[in-house]
């Protein structure tokens, strides 16, 4: 008998990086792309909690305390065991992911979420979303350094979120469904490094950067209103403006800028990098009329792959 749990990818619609400084941001789950964790009993005579994920095949070290763990997978397991008050069971957990690593799509948070969910279910103590979110947030510190908490929140709750650090999670209505194309630069980029670089910029030039961060916050509120009233033209304009501010924070890249231009030239209503930046993915807002042309333009501009995701009420 096996037990399975999963978690989705995510995109940040607007507000990444500024969200680390207390501004709001909007994130959306991408439910079509998931990480799955499957728990199966160990073969007879095989002891310990064995983890298989891509290249990794190892048994959880028995002696390490959670505080001393620096590996994201081990920390997820330790924190989950501590939260449910159990010792590591003799099982094998296999992780399979459809989410590219270090691409701004939340693969780290999705892996932790699926893993903690599956393990707690296998132990007969399924974690609620609140507790799960706290665990994944702790693990995100390994990936992001000083995470805002937006990635773990959208991935654990799997619903659109208007997120502001330290505030209760808010969701919102989607006035009209819309489609985003997600184009992969194929360049992996660590969010932790982009976040640390923005921190450095912020600390060395606070007078110049603080207004940019605050402007992004205002733009996020305007975006929420545009989404709620189904005004896709304004939504697109706000996304493109947000990309400009992210360039100012030094987190774009030549490839991301090329993709944004290619998408806009092909008729997208708006386009921007999504997530940590410096590589990873770009998102473009398309209509049924422009979908194919924008996708073709992104592939011609060098996108490794272009996914589509529909954002609609009740998803
Ligand atoms: C990454 O998806 C979003 C960032 O704002 C980092 C964070 O909020 O933790 C870049």
How many of the other CB atoms lie within 10 Å of CB of 111? 27
Contact 109, 116 (CB under 8 A): no
Q: What domain range is 213 assigned to? A: 178-311
Task: Give the predicted TM-score (pTM) of the model.
Answer: 0.94
Q: Is residue 170 part of a domain?
A: no
Q: Is residue 172 part of a domain?
A: no
Percent of the chain residues topping a pLDDT of 70:
97
Asked if 17 and 112 sit in the same domain, the reply is yes
Residue from 103, 195, 220, 273 whose mutation best tests the ligand 1 pocket (most atoms within 8 A of CB): 195
Domain endpoint, select from 131, 163, 195 = 163
Residue 139 pLDDT > 90: yes
Flag the least confident range among 6-15, 66-75, 228-237, 287-296: 66-75
CB of 10 sitting under 6 A from ligand 1? no
Say whether pLDDT at 182 is over 90.
yes
74, 131, 151, 184: the active-site residue: 151
Do the domain assignments include residue 168?
no
pLDDT at 63: 59
Contact between 185 and 259 (Cβ < 8 Å): yes
Kindly report the CA angle at 108 between 307 and 269, in degrees rounded to 5? 30
pLDDT of residue 67: 61
Each residue of 54-110: pLDDT tens digit? 878 888 876 556 566 678 999 999 999 999 999 999 999 999 999 988 888 999 999
Among 138, 163, 188, which residue terminates a domain?
Answer: 163
CATH of the domain at 9: 3.30.230.10
Both 100 and 23 in one domain: the answer is yes
Give the model's pLDDT for residue 64.
55
151 and 193 fall within a common domain: no
Domain match, 66 and 89 both: yes
* Same domain membership, residue 277 and residue 211: yes
99 DSSP assignment: S
The angle, 0 to 180 degrees and rounded to 10, between the axes of the packed helices 72-84 and 107-122 is 40
Q: In what order do the strands lie in the sheet with 270-274?
A: 270-274, 281-286, 178-184, 306-311
Encode pLDDT of 236-274 as tens digits: 999 999 999 999 999 999 999 999 999 999 999 999 999
How many whole angstroms from 3 Cα to the centroid of ligand 1? Answer: 31
Return the higher-pLDDT residue of 20 and 45. Answer: 20
| pLDDT reported for residue 100 | 86
Stretch (H or E) spanning 148: none
Beta pairing, strands 91-97 & 50-53: parallel
The residue whose C-alpha atom lies closest to atom 9 belonging to ligand 1 is: 147
Mapping DSSP to helix (H, G, I), strand (E, B) and coil, where does residue 88 land? coil
For residues 78 and 110, give the distance between their C-alpha atoms in angstroms, rounded to a whole number. 17
- Other Cβ atoms closer than 10 A to 8: 25
Residues 286 and 189 grouped into a single domain: yes
Is residue 151 annotated as part of the catalytic site, yes or no?
A: yes
CB of 280 closer than 6 A to ligand 1? no
Q: Rg (Cα) of the chain, in Å, rounded? A: 20
Label residue 166 left, alpha or beta by phi (over 0 means left) and psi (-120 to 50 means alpha): left
User: Would the CB of 195 count as within 6 Å of ligand 1?
Assistant: yes
Q: Are residues 46 and 184 in the same domain?
A: no
Distance of CA 267 to the CA centre of its chain: 26
119 and 205 together in one domain: no
Interatomic CA distance for residues 71 and 232, integer angstroms: 41
| Residue 170 CA to ligand 1 centre (angstroms) | 17
Q: What is the pLDDT of residue 301?
A: 98
The span from the CA of 229 to the CA of 223, in Å, is 10
Q: State which of 196, 275, 277, 283 you would mutate to test the pocket of ligand 1, scoring each by most atoms of that ligand within 8 A of its C-beta.
A: 275
Are 19 and 158 within one domain? yes
What confidence score (pLDDT) does residue 101 get?
84
Is the confidence at residue 49, as pLDDT, over 60?
yes
CB of 15 closer than 6 A to ligand 1? no
Reduce the DSSP state of residue 34 to 3 states and report it.
strand
Instruction: Assign 315 a pLDDT band (cuts: 50, 70, 90).
Output: low
Question: How many structural domains comprise the chain?
Answer: 2
Task: Quote helix, strand, coil % in the chain, to nearest 5.
Answer: 45, 25, 35
Q: Is 1 exposed, middle or buried (0-12, 13-18, 19+ CB in 10 A)?
A: exposed
């Amino acid at each position: 008998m096996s037990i399975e749990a999963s978690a989705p990818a995510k995109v940040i619609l607007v507000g990444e990086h500024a969200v680390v400084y207390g501004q709001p941001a909007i994130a959306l789950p991408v439910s079509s792309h998931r990480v799955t964790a499957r728990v199966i009993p160990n073969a007879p005579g095989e002891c310990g909690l064995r983890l298989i994920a891509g290249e990794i095949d190892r048994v959880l070290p028995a002696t390490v305390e959670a505080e001393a763990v620096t590996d994201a997978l081990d920390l997820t397991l330790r924190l989950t065991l501590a939260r449910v008050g159990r010792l590591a069971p003799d099982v094998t957990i296999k992780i399979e992911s459809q989410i590219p690593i270090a691409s701004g799509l939340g693969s780290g948070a999705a892996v932790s979420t699926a893993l903690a969910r599956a393990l707690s279910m296998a132990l007969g103590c399924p974690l609620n979303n609140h507790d799960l979110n706290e665990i994944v947030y702790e693990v995100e510190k390994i990936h992001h350094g000083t995470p805002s908490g937006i990635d773990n929140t959208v991935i654990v709750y799997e619903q659109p979120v208007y997120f502001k650090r330290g505030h209760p999670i808010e969701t919102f209505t989607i006035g009209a469904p819309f489609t985003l194309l997600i184009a992969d630069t194929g360049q992996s980029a660590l969010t932790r490094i982009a976040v640390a670089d923005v921190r450095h910029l912020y600390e060395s030039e606070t007078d110049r950067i603080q207004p940019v961060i605050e402007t992004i916050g205002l733009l996020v509120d305007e975006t929420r209103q545009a989404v709620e009233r189904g005004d896709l033209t304004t939504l697109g304009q706000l996304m493109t403006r947000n990309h400009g501010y992210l360039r100012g924070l030094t987190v774009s890249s030549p490839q991301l800028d090329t993709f944004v231009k290619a998408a806009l030239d092909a008729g997208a209503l708006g386009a921007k990098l999504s997530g940590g930046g410096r590589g990873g993915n770009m998102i473009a807002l398309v209509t049924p009329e422009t979908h194919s042309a924008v996708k073709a333009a992104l592939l011609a501009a060098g996108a490794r792959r272009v996914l589509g995701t529909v954002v609609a009420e009740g998803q």
